[in-house]
Structure 1
Amino acid sequence: MRRPVALRLLAALATTAIAAAMGVALSIPQASAASGSATGYATRNGGTTGGAGGQTVRATTGTAIHAALCNRASSSTPIIIQVEGTINHGNTSKVSGNSCNTADDVIELKQISNVTIIGVGNGAVFDQLGIHIREASNIIIQNVTVRNVKKSGSPTSNGGDAIGMESTVRNVWVDHVTLEASGGESEGFDGLFDMKNNTQYVTLSYSILRNSGRGGLVGSSESDRSNGFITYHHNLYENIDSRTPLLRGGIAHIYNNHYVSLHESGINSRAGAQAKVENNYFKSSKDVLGTFYTNERGYWQVSGNIFDNVTWSSPGSENYPAGPNPQSNTTVSIPYSYRPDGAGCVPDIVRQTAGANKGLKVSDGNCSPQTPTATPTSPTTGPTTPTPGPTSPTPGPTQPGGTNLSIGAGSDGSSKASGTSYGNVRDGDMSTYWSPTGSTGHISIKWGSSTTVSAIVIREASGSEGTIGSWQVINHDTGAVLTSGSRAGVVTFPPTSLHKITFKITSSAGTPKVAEFETYAR
């Protein structure tokens, strides 16, 4: 980091420090047990519902959060954990169990699914303690504050990230949270909201990220391009040096955010990333959009943004600002519905809605804050450690782990309808698809060298779900049928080494539309 932020924090921290020293309990609006529903890319890939339908428990320590996870019937049994109070190193310990994989000094959401963590009552503060999401899916984090997580100095947690996701994470909605640090890397802090190593279908909404050297990244290096489908909307980024966010590969939708005092750079699209940047308000900041610190360029589609007192550096080696007159250099199709506010009202609507303890208010798309309907829950009263119950997980296919091997592979097929393409099934974009010229046909993924595959995921385009009837999965090298069945979704079979795998549709209720043909080794 080239410019420290610690001195800029003194005024902002003074009130909080005095209140804490005096033991003053600040009045904070009560949050509902769970509120609203996911938005953006978190609605895709089957949606994000967290622990909806599961047991609701209370936790006032990090150890109690871990106990709630470990006392479930299985690692996928839905659960809603209501958190109140300060979660810190002193009250966060590892808990063991068959339905969890926890650790000391970090909230560990590892190898689990179907979980909601929501702050209630007088608020939930994760103090110097990060939230780590790893090999997990269908997670909601709502109405909490995470502050001052360090990667160096003492104490350390979660590699210095306030919220960090890595290693095959799917469908996460982080909403109405406040993520803050007290400086940059030289002061021991890292990112506020980081995603890497195959993290997809994530939404960050109505949140505050402030007082940090790094806002967050998607992709740990220029070669880590397995991440994407991220939505950022109605967030406040304030007093940040860079990475709001940094994008390496993948697709991001960034709208209705308020950016204030970005000191070095803002949205850094690089290494082939594509960002749709619309109706945001940038104020008193530098180089808010472009490709920075690399020669591996990224792309952006811009519309409706306001640039208020924004300065731009001159282009040069490893420095490609989009301004002073940002123009689109790509087109990004968004596969979900949304109602963006006009950029002119973004500072006001974000001020009223973003962050923890704001009553979970959202915008109605007309610059007016609304309180969403609460999802009914029945909280368990009494001890903070939950009692195991008879709840069983809802059966259904499980998203395969590992990297989608179709990304970067080739594809072909039996025929393609007008306006469709074989390549559309491996572009990571649910709004594009392949269709045969009739109601049956086949589509293949192929590699230049032998590749082991044991699972595929067939995703139908929006509006065509259920069209595909019967099918076969074929080892194209030998002609052997690996498995057969009906309806699209997750398909598993014994690990098979091959150069080409074919999904053959033998019946359908109309014209099939295959948006994605994903392949996995496990």
Structure 2
Amino acid sequence: MKRTPAWRIPAVVAALAVVSTTGVVLTTSQASAAGTATGYATQNGGTTGGAGGRTVHASTGTQIHQALCARPNTSTPITIEVEGTVNHGNTSKVSGDGCDTSDDVIELKRVSNITIIGVGRGAVFDQLGIHIRESSNIIIQNVTVRNVKKSGSPTSNGGDAIGMEKDVRNVWVDHATLEASGGEDEGHDGLFDMKNNTRYVTLSYSILRNSGRGGLIGSSESDTSNGYVTFHHNLYQNIDSRTPLLRGGDAHMYNNHYVGLVKSGINSRAGAHAKVDNNYFRDSKDVLGTFYTNELGYWQVGGNVYDNVTWSSEGSENHPAGPDPRSNTTVNIPYNYDLDRADCVPGIVSRTAGDDTGLAESDGSC
């Protein structure tokens, strides 16, 4: 895998702009997401988002929907550059040949070939989630999604910051900041959830923090049709559990920094297989194992650092991998990737992860 040095920051090409009759700014460039997809998102034909299509600038949720709906059909490629705060007050349902939208949520439903990328002063989805359903070839890059709720007021997207469900294929989420201000008791659900036959997904260079639930792959012990998900160079911070919860399928976690996992971390269960490479776990509890069930999962470990990690005892519905984590399976990874040293991961992730880092990536140096 070719690396992009941290000092080489990809940029969206500046372009001459005109304003359409809907208020959406249409640019003459064909800018696309910076960089290329990595991990499992490179499989199954790859993930290119809206590359090759028109670029549209939007500052509200309604304008995002207008851009989707104005396409000739649901598969016409499009890149939507977002600048500003998207919230319930400016996100309404729009109809058209290229969309299937709803009020109060960014709805990517039965569509394909779309990039949503934050530009300029940044893109914040405030208390409003991004919902991907029956869709494919989606890129979401350089955005913040915060405080999405499933109960209380306002509510959006079942409480997930980014949620994928039902026949979703090839999604790359990169340089995102996904955060909440509490757990289920405060009305929040997961930050990054995949359900009901979601496959070939990569989450890279992102921050997930201050939530009860980091995310899951599979909504129940019987929902095992999901998988082939890569997590790399992400920061999980102040999370109770689910970093992620994996039910069935394969997942690859490498070069992530996990800090302050309160109850449990990577929860591989119901026959799931997790490859866990060169991650740095700090000030956390039960960072790997099968938890809250006796439906066991499996893991292959190597090169990880466990810094002030505590482990509970083996018991009914509690099967920690530690205190001396050993592999109990082999997971074959079909793509090329470069590993940073685990002891370098905290510094690398602090410089590169999240939506306000200029899309910086690791250059392999410590």
TM-score by length of 1: 0.64
Q: 1:193 to 1:126 in 2, by over 3 A?
A: same
Q: 1:127 to 1:31 in 2, by over 3 A?
A: farther
Contact 1:287 1:312 in 2 (8 A): yes
Report what 2:90 is aligned to.
91
- 1:283 and 1:223 mapped to 2: Cα distance? 32
State the one-letter code of the partner of 2:93.
Answer: K
Give the SS at the match of 2:338: coil
Give the SS at the match of 1:346: helix
Identity score, percent: 79
Report what 1:211 is aligned to.
210
Give the SS at the match of 1:57: strand
- 2:150 and 2:72 mapped to 1: Cα distance? 34
Report what 2:136 is aligned to.
137
Report what 1:69 is aligned to.
68
Report what 1:340 is aligned to.
339
State the one-letter code of the partner of 1:50.
Answer: G
Q: Aligned pair 1:308/2:313, yes or no?
A: no
- 1:245 and 1:178 mapped to 2: Cα distance? 16
TM-score by length of 2: 0.92
Deviation at 1:47, TM superposition (A): 0.1
- 1:308 and 1:198 mapped to 2: Cα distance? 35
1:194-230 Cα offsets, whole Å, 9 max, x none, are: 0000000000000000000000000000000000000
Larger RCO (CA within 8 A; separation ≥ 6) = 2
Unpaired runs of 5+ in structure 2? 1-8, 13-30
Deviation at 1:364, TM superposition (A): 2.5
Contact 1:30 1:121 in 2 (8 A): no
Deviation at 1:31, TM superposition (A): 5.2
Contact 1:143 1:356 in 2 (8 A): yes
Deviation at 1:30, TM superposition (A): 10
- 2:348 and 2:309 mapped to 1: Cα distance? 21
Report what 1:258 is aligned to.
257
Contact 1:30 1:357 in 2 (8 A): no
- 2:146 and 2:263 mapped to 1: Cα distance? 22
- 1:142 and 1:98 mapped to 2: Cα distance? 25
Q: Aligned pair 1:201/2:200, yes or no?
A: yes
Report what 1:184 is aligned to.
183
Deviation at 1:99, TM superposition (A): 1.3
1:442-498 Cα offsets, whole Å, 9 max, x none, are: xxxxxxxxxxxxxxxxxxxxxxxxxxxxxxxxxxxxxxxxxxxxxxxxxxxxxxxxx
Q: How do 1:138-157 residues align onto structure 2 when only pairs under 5 Å count? A: 138-157=137-156
State the one-letter code of the partner of 1:332.
Answer: V
- 2:135 and 2:265 mapped to 1: Cα distance? 29
Report what 1:116 is aligned to.
115
Give the SS at the match of 2:293: coil
Deviation at 1:284, TM superposition (A): 0.2
Q: 1:93 to 1:102 in 2, by over 3 A?
A: same
Aligned length, in residue pairs = 339
Give the SS at the match of 1:67: helix
- 1:98 and 1:114 mapped to 2: Cα distance? 15
- 1:340 and 1:91 mapped to 2: Cα distance? 42
State the one-letter code of the partner of 1:85.
Answer: G
Unpaired runs of 5+ in structure 1? 1-28, 368-522
Higher Cα radius of gyration: 1
Q: 1:153 to 1:31 in 2, by over 3 A?
A: farther
Runs of 4 or more above 6 Å deviation: none
Contact 1:148 1:182 in 2 (8 A): yes
Report what 1:463 is aligned to.
none
- 1:365 and 1:225 mapped to 2: Cα distance? 35
1:310-336 Cα offsets, whole Å, 9 max, x none, are: 000001000000000000000001000
- 2:198 and 2:97 mapped to 1: Cα distance? 24
- 1:46 and 1:364 mapped to 2: Cα distance? 26
Contact 2:10 2:359 in 1 (8 A): no
- 2:293 and 2:365 mapped to 1: Cα distance? 39
Give the SS at the match of 2:326: coil
- 1:259 and 1:139 mapped to 2: Cα distance? 26
- 1:184 and 1:316 mapped to 2: Cα distance? 26
Deviation at 1:365, TM superposition (A): 3.2
Give the SS at the match of 2:350: helix
Give the SS at the match of 2:62: helix
RMSD: 1.0
- 2:113 and 2:244 mapped to 1: Cα distance? 26
